[in-house]
Chain A
Amino acid sequence: MIFFFILLVFVLIAQMAEFFIPTLDWMYNAHVYIVPVIVFYGAMALPFPLMLALALFAGILLDVLTVQVIGGKVEISMGWSILLYAVLAGIMHGLRPLFIRGRWEVHCILSGICTSAIVLAQYLMITFRRGSIFFSNEVWWQIGGPGLIAMLMAPLIFWILHWIARVTRYPYLPEGRIE
C-alpha cells in the first residue's frame, strides 16, 4: 500500500515537473511526458483496483491542468483522460505476467506507444471540435516525439520504481512467483 501512495506522489511531482521541462526544439517542440510512464509501471505493478485508482488520479490531474475552458466551452470534457489512462493501463495490466517474468522490454515499448496514443487521442478530440483534420509532419512529430522519449525514459523510470518497490517490500515481486 505504501508503494501505491509513493506512486501517487510521483505522479503528482511528475505532472508538476512537466510544466517546467522545456519542449524539444529539435523534435518540432515535442513535449516530454513522464506521468504516463509512471502510470503504466503502476498498471503492471499494482493489482487491478489500485491500478484503476492510479489511472483515476493521473487522469484528473491531466484534465485539470491541461484542459482549457474558453468562451464557456470545454474542448475535452473532464473525465476523458481518466478513461484513456484506464483503458491503456488496463492493456498494460493484461501483460503483467510477462513483466513479473522479467520481460521489461515489451512494456517499455508499449509505454512509448501508449504515451503517443494519449497525445493522438487528444489531437483527434480537439480536431473533432475545431474541424479540419490534417496530419502533417509536424503533427506526427508532436504525437510520436513524446512516445519516443517515453520509450527511452521507460527503462530508467521502471528501474527506479522497481528499486523503490523492493525497498518498500512491495509484495508483488517475489522472485519467480506469478500471481
Chain B
Amino acid sequence: MSRTSIIALLIFGAILGYFLSFGSETTRKFQSTVYQWLAPLFTTGSGLQKQITSVRTQLKSLEELERENSELQVENRQLRATNQALRDVEREVNRLRHALQYKERSVFKLVPAEVIARDSSTWWHTITINRGKEDKIDTDMPVVTDEGLVGKTTTVSASIAVVLLTTDENCKVAATVEGTREQGITSGERVASGLTPMLDLNFLSKQANLQPGPKVYTSGVGGVFPSGLLIGAVKSFRVRELDGQAKLTPGVDMSHLEDVFVVTGRK
C-alpha cells in the first residue's frame, strides 16, 4: 500500500469516527441542514415527476382511444384530449375543494402541504412534504388527510419536512377501537406481507374477539396524536400468548398521497 493510500485511509478513519460519534440530536441537526441544501432538488424532482406522470397518462389515454375507436379522426382525437385535460382540471379542483372543506370544518389548526417525495429506502416508510420550520412545523407533529391519520413529522428543515408514516414499524400510535373499550398501540409492519401495507394493533385484551369492520381511532394517549383521528379499520383478530392482536387496513391509502395537513394545534 502506497503512502498516499495510508494517509487517505487515516483521514477516512478520522472522518468516519467523527460521524460515528454523532448523537441523535446532532444527527437530526445535520440531517435538517442537508435537507435544506437539497430542498431545491426535491422541489425540482417533484415537478419533473409530475410532468412525466402527466405525459404518460395522456399517452395511455390516447392509446386506449385508438384501440376503442379505430376510425377516430384527428379532430375527434384533439377534442377528446381537450376533454381529458379538462377532466384533469376538474379532478384537481374537486380534490382541492375537498381539502379546503376539510381544513375549514376541522377542529385542528392545519397547515396544508404537498407530498414532494416518497421513501427511497427499503426499511423505513416516509414521505417528504414541502413545509418546514418557516411554516411553524416542528418535529413530532401529526400529519393527516381528510381520510385519517398519515403519520408524524421527524426531520424538519426550514422549508421541507420528513413524515414517518403510520405504516412504518417505528410509528407507534395509541389507539381505541370504535364501539368497545379496547385500547392498544398500532404500528406498521417491518416488511409488508402483501402488496398493501397493513397495521398491527397490539396489546388488546385476549377476550376482545374483534370482528372485521370496526374503525380504530387515536386515543390521544402519549401526547403526539390528538384523539379521534381515524387510523384504520379492523380486518382480522387473533389471540396471542399474552394479548390480542388485530390487523388493520389503514384508513389512508399511503401509496397515492398528494396533499396532506400538518396538525399544528387546536383552533
Contact = CB atoms under 8 A, between A and B. Distances in A.
Given A68-B154, A69-B154, A79-B20, A52 B8 contact: yes
B169 interface: yes
A29 interface: yes
B27 A29 contact: no
B35 to A, nearest CB: 8
Contact of B8 (A16, A48, A127): A48
Dominant secondary structure at the A interface: helix
B59 interface: no
B192 interface: yes
Interface in B112-141: 117-124, 126, 128
Interface string B245-256: 000000000000
A67 B5 CA distance: 30
Given A19-B117, A64-B34, A77-B22, A122 B122 contact: yes
Nearest to A21: B120
Interface stretch (B39-47, B97-105, B210-218): B39-47
Contacts of A17: 45
Interface residues of B, number: 53
A20 to B, nearest CB: 5
Contact of B120 (A66, A69, A139): A66
Contacts of B69: none
Contacts of A74: 22-24, 27
Contact of A139 (B19, B20, B117, B191): B191
Contacts of B2: 48
Given A15-B120, A70-B164, A122-B121, A49 B5 contact: yes
Contact of B12 (A16, A29, A56, A63): A56
Residue of A19, A29, A63, A75 ringed by the most chain B CB atoms within 10 A = A19
A31 interface: yes
A142 to B, nearest CB: 5
B173 interface: no
A31 B24 contact: no
Contact of A49 (B8, B124, B126, B155): B8
A83 interface: yes
Given A15-B120, A31-B122, A138-B192, A64 B24 contact: no
B206 interface: no
A79 B24 contact: no
Contacts of B162: 68
B124 A68 contact: yes
Nearest to A55: B12
A139 B121 CA distance: 14
Given A20-B49, A28-B191, A122-B121, 13 more contacts: A16-B41, A16-B45, A19-B120, A22-B118, A31-B121, A52-B9, A64-B34, A69-B155, A119-B122, A126-B190, A138-B192, A142-B122, A142-B191
24 contacts: A15-B120, A16-B41, A19-B42, A19-B118, A19-B128, A22-B118, A31-B122, A48-B1, A48-B8, A49-B4, A52-B8, A66-B119, A68-B164, A69-B27, A69-B28, A70-B164, A72-B24, A74-B22, A78-B27, A78-B30, A122-B123, A138-B192, A139-B190, A142-B123
By Cβ-Cβ distance, the 8 closest A-B pairs, closest first, are: A49-B8, A79-B19, A79-B20, A66-B121, A19-B117, A18-B120, A78-B22, A48-B5
